[in-house]
Amino acid sequence: MQNEAESILNLLHEGQDEIKERIPDVMENFQNFSQSVIKEGLLTPKMKELIAIAVSVSIRCQP
């Protein structure tokens, strides 16, 4: 199971690298947005991550 997860993460990183090469401004804006969502606020970054995982599981998100 862990190997499958690692393979999926590697594919995602490869895709991000390709987007960064082709349209770097878009990828930079996306990364800035992603970082701003996770910042400390009313909820801790850990709580936000747990909520994201719960939503993914509840909607049966698959790669």
Q: Cα(37)–Cα(26) distance, rounded to whole angstroms?
A: 17
Contacts of 63 (CB under 8 A, 6+ apart): 8, 11, 12
User: In 10 A of CB 49, how many CB atoms?
Assistant: 12
Asked whether the predicted pLDDT for residue 4 surpasses 70, the reply is: yes
Taking residues 16-30, report their average pLDDT: 93
Question: Would you give the distance in Å from CA 32 to the centre of its chain?
Answer: 12
Asked whether the predicted pLDDT for residue 41 surpasses 90, the reply is: yes
Q: What is the pTM of this model?
A: 0.60
Q: Are 45 and 35 in contact (CB under 8 A)?
A: no
